[in-house]
């Protein structure tokens, strides 16, 4: 074990995991060592004869498990971004052991008694200490620390099984998504796609050892190519492939796993004293209750559906889900003289990254990014950038841009190292993952506008992770409620078309000429175009998430047909537009059945209330200035979870968030 690189802190800059030294055989022994080490530390805390204090209980708990933290951060980065057969197999084996280990700590009655004693005297502590005590106490209470031994045993078994099922859902979905990638044998069937997109499809086929062209599936229902493919048959095949994920029977069918997850979550919620899983989740979010979530949805669902219905009429009335994007793009071109596909030569990935994403962060926050080719990521596609501000090194930013079969769909940010003064980690290491098709060797990567927005969005998460500067690990980085964590990323996404940002990066790949100002103006004018569809498909997925997770244990047991339940839930909520399917149907809803967004997919629209109001604040105070950026960083991004996030927002904005800017942005006013 002495040669295992996880056993000691990395000597690389910012403690970047030494991926060049890490081998498959290092992971499981490091997990085992890390769990033993942390459990021994917790045993010492519990056995301490001294009265419980913040130092001997909370701080000691925060310092436990450094090896486990290191190996878990590296391994679960691989599990999402480079899940080889080895990684998948180990994930399914290690997940229940990690769940049991976590429960042994969170459900420990003597440990909870010590935490509870400190919690009762929390008013004597400093603010960040008090926040840590409150968060630890709440998490242990909601985890079941106050239950009797019989209930705890049942809860532990439920958690172990749920961890296995979540990994199984993810593995099945990734495999089915890869199998269902659309194979095209005649180039004419790809008519309408840009040349570089066709080239990337040819490269994808070659990478799989196939003839022809391959259009890999992205995670949402709507596939990017649908807006440009002029062949209706190809569009129909692509949409059918997307919507059939997890439903074809066999080992990659996710329906049975999904139903078991729903039933076990409902049983777990009842054990913990909640009527359903959604109530358990909401209790620890900024929303506070499912009633608050329902109130927001009730306000925005009806106008969103009305807008989508109006848009369908404008497209000709009889529209299929496969044809909507193509027809809508045609109408956009006619109404605004904007062809999004034709604009892709203005969105070359390297320029977008350096002159858009990085430059905007530099302008607002005074940070710089320098590529470190000498530092190795977990895959050859991963690029590493050193990040600095006026005070020196902030950390490292890793970018993993391209799609591959071992990567799950979608886009996300995660942390490999979080800044926490207590543990001596003064620099963060954050990762952004996207799924952009990789072009032929030597060809530039041209992004769609949607991919540009995604890159800015995920980079907002990265900035949150880089800037958060706290003392305690539990409060570090993006460890904030799910319905707040999307707020910083959505703010950053709003700069994509900003007049001070767009001209810097939107330049033609061949001529270097900037995007013509009149085209930029027309792009901004399209901001509310198609918002009926976009808002409705998102809200439909949100309603599905809530419907599955507001079932009682008895109601969950009674559901046997996933398709029928989904159709009934959508109809009941007023989603009666077959041409506007949910952004994610249940069988490929990775956010909630394989990720951390169960009963919390509403977080995006909830956070967007804060985001839209924040953008309004910037506009009211002079725009994208360093002074405004520093204020946002100091009062919000830099705080992590060291104070209540809504209180932090209130200090930044001077009041609670106003929903009006969101309604205007979404065309719902």
- Shared-domain flag, residues 506 and 370: yes
Q: Read off the CATH number of the domain in which 90 is found.
A: 1.20.1050.40
- Please report the pLDDT score of residue 2 as a whole number: 57
Cα–Cα nearest to 224, from 365, 411, 5? 411
652: in domain:
no
- Shared-domain flag, residues 507 and 361: yes
589: in domain:
yes
**Tokens 């290191």 — which residue?**
70
- Output 35-40 pairs: Cβ under 8 A, ≥24 positions apart: 35/68, 35/97, 35/98, 35/101, 37/64, 37/65, 37/66, 37/67, 37/68, 38/64, 38/65, 38/67, 38/68, 38/101, 38/105, 39/101, 39/104, 39/105
CA 309, CA 576: separation in Å to the nearest integer?
9
Of 545, 570, 601, which closes a domain? 601
- Shared-domain flag, residues 355 and 501: yes
Q: Which two tokens stand for residue 294?
A: 């329902």
Cα-Cα end-to-end distance for the chain = 62
- Shared-domain flag, residues 383 and 449: yes
Of 543, 567, 601, which closes a domain? 601
Active site residue 458: yes
Strand 392-402 with 383-389, pairing? antiparallel
385: in domain:
yes
% pLDDT > 90, the chain? 97
Q: Read off the CATH number of the domain in which 510 is found.
A: 1.10.1370.40
Q: What is the three-class DSSP state of 401? A: strand
Structure-model confidence comparison of residues 440 and 52, the more confident one: 52
- Shared-domain flag, residues 579 and 550: yes
231: in domain:
yes
Residue-level length of the chain: 669
Mean pLDDT calculated for residue range 621-649: 97
pLDDT in tens, 312-351: 999 998 999 999 999 999 999 999 999 998 999 999 999 9
Number of domains composing the chain: 4
pLDDT in tens, 598-619: 999 999 999 999 999 999 999 9
Which domain covers residue 315, as residue numbers?
A: 255-338+529-601
443: in domain:
yes
152: in domain:
no
User: Which of the 8 DSSP states describes residue 516?
Assistant: P
- Shared-domain flag, residues 279 and 377: no
Cα–Cα nearest to 389, from 373, 365, 408, 406? 365
Structure-model confidence comparison of residues 21 and 576, the more confident one: 21
Are 396 and 372 contacting, i.e. CB atoms less than 8 angstroms apart?
yes
- Shared-domain flag, residues 85 and 132: yes
Are 386 and 370 contacting, i.e. CB atoms less than 8 angstroms apart?
yes
Q: Which two tokens stand for residue 438?
A: 């990789």
Q: Read off the CATH number of the domain in which 576 is found.
A: 1.10.1370.10
- Please report the pLDDT score of residue 47 as a whole number: 98
Strand 213-215 with 182-184, pairing? antiparallel
How far is Cα of residue 394 from the mean position of the Cα atoms in its chain? 22
Of 524, 540, 564, which closes a domain? 524
H/E stretch holding 414: strand 412-417
User: Which of the 8 DSSP states describes residue 276?
Assistant: S
460: in domain:
yes
Cα–Cα nearest to 412, from 73, 81, 71, 88? 81
pLDDT in tens, 29-50: 999 999 999 999 999 999 999 9
Q: What is the three-class DSSP state of 251? A: coil
H/E stretch holding 369: strand 368-371
- Please report the pLDDT score of residue 317 as a whole number: 86
Cα–Cα nearest to 538, from 497, 589, 481, 496? 589
Mean pLDDT calculated for residue range 410-432: 97
Q: Which two tokens stand for residue 190?
A: 């790809």
- Shared-domain flag, residues 486 and 534: no
Mean pLDDT calculated for residue range 16-31: 98
What pTM was computed for the model? Answer: 0.94
Give the 3-state secondary structure percentages of the chain, helix then strand then coil, rounded to 5.
Answer: 60, 5, 35
- Shared-domain flag, residues 27 and 140: yes
491-508 residues labelled b (16+ CB within 10 A) or e (exposed): bbbbbbbbeebbebbbbb
- Shared-domain flag, residues 390 and 298: no
638: in domain:
no
Rounded (5°) CA angle 596-602-603: 65
Strand 392-402 with 428-436, pairing? parallel
% pLDDT > 70, the chain? 100
Q: Which two tokens stand for residue 453?
A: 């927005």
pLDDT tops 70 at residue 130: yes
Mean pLDDT of the chain: 96
pLDDT in tens, 56-79: 999 999 999 999 999 999 999 999
Q: What is the three-class DSSP state of 561? A: coil
Choose the catalytic residue: 62, 418, 458, 537.
458
pLDDT in tens, 144-184: 999 999 999 999 999 999 999 999 999 999 999 999 999 99
Mean pLDDT calculated for residue range 577-587: 97
pLDDT tops 70 at residue 1: no
Q: What is the DSSP string of 165-177?
A: HHHHHHHHHHHHH
- Shared-domain flag, residues 372 and 515: yes
For 398, phi then psi, to 5°, come to -110, 135
H/E stretch holding 336: helix 321-336
Q: Which two tokens stand for residue 399?
A: 């970018």
Mean pLDDT calculated for residue range 493-514: 96
pLDDT band at 283 (very low <50, low <70, confident <90, very high): very high
In angstroms, what CA-CA distances link 349 with 155, 292, 440? 47, 40, 14
- Shared-domain flag, residues 135 and 13: yes
Mean pLDDT calculated for residue range 462-486: 97
**Tokens 């929903």 — which residue?**
659
Q: Which two tokens stand for residue 61?
A: 């708990």
pLDDT tops 60 at residue 224: yes
Mean pLDDT calculated for residue range 130-141: 98
Mean pLDDT calculated for residue range 480-493: 96
């Amino acid at each position: 074990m002495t040669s295992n690189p996880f056993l000691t802190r990395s000597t690389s800059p910012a403690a970047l995991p030494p991926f060049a030294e890490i081998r498959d055989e290092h992971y499981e022994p490091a997990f085992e060592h890390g769990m033993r080490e942390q459990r021994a530390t917790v045993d010492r805390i519990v056995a301490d004869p001294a009265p419980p204090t913040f130092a001997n209980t909370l701080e000691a708990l925060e310092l436990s498990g450094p090896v486990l933290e290191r190996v878990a951060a590296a391994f679960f980065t691989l599990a999402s971004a480079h899940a080889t057969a080895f990684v998948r197999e180990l994930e399914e084996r290690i997940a229940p052991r990690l769940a049991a280990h976590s429960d042994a700590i969170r459900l420990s009655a003597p440990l909870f008694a010590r935490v509870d004693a400190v919690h009762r005297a929390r008013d004597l502590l400093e603010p960040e200490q008090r926040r840590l005590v409150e968060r630890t106490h709440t998490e242990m209470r909601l985890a079941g620390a106050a239950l009797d031994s019989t209930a705890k045993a049942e809860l532990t078994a439920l958690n172990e099984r749920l961890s296995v099922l979540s990994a199984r859902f993810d593995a099945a979905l990734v495999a089915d998504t890869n199998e269902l990638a659309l194979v095209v044998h005649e180039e004419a069937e790809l008519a309408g796609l840009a040349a570089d997109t066709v080239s990337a499809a040819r490269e994808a086929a070659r990478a799989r050892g196939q003839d022809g062209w391959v259009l890999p599936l992205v995670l949402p229902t709507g596939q990017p190519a649908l807006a440009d493919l002029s062949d209706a048959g190809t569009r129909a095949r692509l949409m059918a492939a997307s919507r059939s994920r997890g439903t074809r029977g066999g080992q990659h069918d996710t329906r049975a796993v999904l139903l078991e997850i729903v039933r076990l979550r409902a049983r777990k919620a009842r054990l913990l004293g909640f009527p359903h899983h959604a109530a358990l989740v909401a209790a620890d979010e900024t929303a506070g209750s499912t009633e608050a979530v329902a109130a927001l949805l009730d306000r925005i669902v009806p106008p969103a559906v009305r807008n989508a219905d109006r848009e369908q009429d404008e497209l000709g009335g009889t529209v299929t889900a496969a044809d909507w994007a193509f027809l809508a793009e045609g109408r956009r071109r006619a109404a605004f003289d904007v062809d999004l596909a034709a604009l892709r030569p203005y969105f070359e990935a390297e320029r977008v990254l350096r002159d858009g994403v990085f430059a905007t962060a530099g302008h607002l926050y005074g940070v710089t990014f320098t590529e470190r080719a000498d530092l190795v990521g977990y895959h050859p596609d991963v690029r590493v950038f050193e990040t600095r501000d006026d005070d020196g090194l902030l950390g490292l930013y890793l970018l993993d841009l391209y799609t591959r079969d071992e990567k799950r769909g979608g886009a996300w940010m995660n942390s490999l190292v979080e800044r926490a003064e207590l543990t001596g980690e003064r620099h963060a290491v954050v990762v952004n993952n996207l799924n952009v098709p990789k072009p032929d060797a030597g060809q530039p990567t041209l992004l769609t506008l949607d991919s540009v927005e995604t890159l800015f969005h995920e980079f907002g998460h990265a900035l949150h992770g880089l800037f958060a500067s706290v003392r305690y690990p539990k409060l570090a980085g993006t460890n904030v409620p799910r319905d707040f964590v999307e707020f910083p990323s959505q703010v950053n996404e709003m700069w994509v078309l900003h007049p001070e940002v767009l001209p810097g990066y939107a330049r033609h790949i061949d001529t270097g000429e900037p995007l013509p100002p009149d085209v930029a103006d027309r792009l901004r004018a399209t901001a509310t175009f198609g918002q009926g569809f976009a808002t409705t498909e998102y809200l439909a997925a949100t309603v599905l998430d809530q419907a599955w997770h507001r079932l009682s244990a008895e109601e969950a047991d009674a559901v046997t047909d996933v398709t029928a339940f989904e159709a009934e839930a959508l109809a009941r909520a007023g989603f009666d537009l077959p041409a506007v399917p949910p952004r994610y149907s249940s069988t490929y809803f990775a956010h909630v059945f394989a990720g951390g967004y169960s009963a919390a997919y509403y977080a995006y629209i909830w956070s967007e209330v804060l985001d839209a109001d924040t953008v309004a604040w910037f506009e009211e105070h002079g725009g994208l200035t360093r002074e405004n950026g520093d204020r946002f960083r100091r009062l919000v991004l830099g705080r992590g979870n060291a104070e209540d996030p809504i209180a932090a927002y209130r200090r930044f904005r001077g009041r609670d968030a106003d929903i009006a800017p969101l309604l205007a942005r979404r065309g719902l006013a």
